[in-house]
Amino acid sequence: MYSIESLALPHGVPPDISLWRVDFAFDASLDNNAFASLSDEERARAQCFRRHEDALRFASVRVALREQLARHLGIAANAVRLTLDTNRRPHLADSDAYDFNISHAGAHGLIAMSPRRRVGVDIEQYSEKFDWRSIASLTLDAGEAAWIERLEVTQQRAAFYEAWVAKEALVKTTGVGITLGLQHLPVLPRDSVEVTLRNAIPDEMREIAARWIAAPEGYFACLAWSAKTFTR
């Protein structure tokens, strides 16, 4: 159905954060017992996808998430209750014991989790057919776009993906996004695994950190987290 692997994290990531990669098996059926822990709402949502691959991605990551939360909470996977907050961000319905975030693309998904802080994660699959300029104005600031244009053609698309996953992870950590758009979070040029915001930092990002993380060949990924821990 799927396999899951705990990932080593770059230097500087808080030790309370856990990260897993989920690898999908697209020949699986949603009727398999491996998906028995899905809620009725999750199962109905999976069945709404037109493509079987998309349904499997959603269902597999949700089951894997349920199993990890259940293991930490000491309950059965089907007893984990998830709901959405006012910003449509999933969270535990009965507890604030863990924050988590998920992302999936292609054959892989990521799950980030912490009992102490908010987390955000993003993974994207590289495509030679993708025209990064078609969404550059919605994703990059003028300086980033100009910097990418100065790169070799073979490097431009990869640089765009690096910016994209970093910005998505940062925004997903806040839970509210950024009102003005991703183009107001410049992170290029990249000079290390640490994500550095290059201009004036928006208020909602002042206590957020991020690192680019190793991803399977043909993928780009980033993990972000809040420096401020939960008060319980």
User: What pLDDT does residue 176 have?
Assistant: 79
Distance CA 126, CA 144 (A): 19
User: What pLDDT does residue 203 have?
Assistant: 85
Distance CA 66, CA 217 (A): 27
Tell me 26's DSSP state. T
User: What pLDDT does residue 231 have?
Assistant: 65
**Domain 122-226 belongs in CATH node 3.30.70.980:** no
- Three-state DSSP class for residue 188: coil
- Residue extent(s) of CATH 3.90.470.20 domains in the chain: 2-116, 122-226
User: What pLDDT does residue 204 have?
Assistant: 85
- pLDDT by residue for the chain (232 residues), tens digit each? 789 999 999 999 999 999 999 999 999 999 999 999 999 999 999 999 999 999 999 999 999 999 999 999 999 999 999 998 887 889 999 888 999 999 999 999 999 999 999 999 999 999 999 999 999 999 999 999 999 999 999 999 999 999 999 999 999 999 877 777 899 999 999 999 999 999 888 888 889 999 999 999 999 999 999 998 976 5
- How many other CB atoms are found less than 10 A from the CB of residue 68? 21
Nearest of 172, 186, 185 to residue 223 by alpha carbon: 172
Concatenate the DSSP letters of all residues of 37-93 into one string: TS-HHHHHHHHH-SSHHHHHHHHHHHHHHHHHHHHHHTS-GGG--EEE-TTS-EEES
**Domain 2-116 belongs in CATH node 3.90.470.20:** yes
Distance CA 134, CA 108 (A): 25
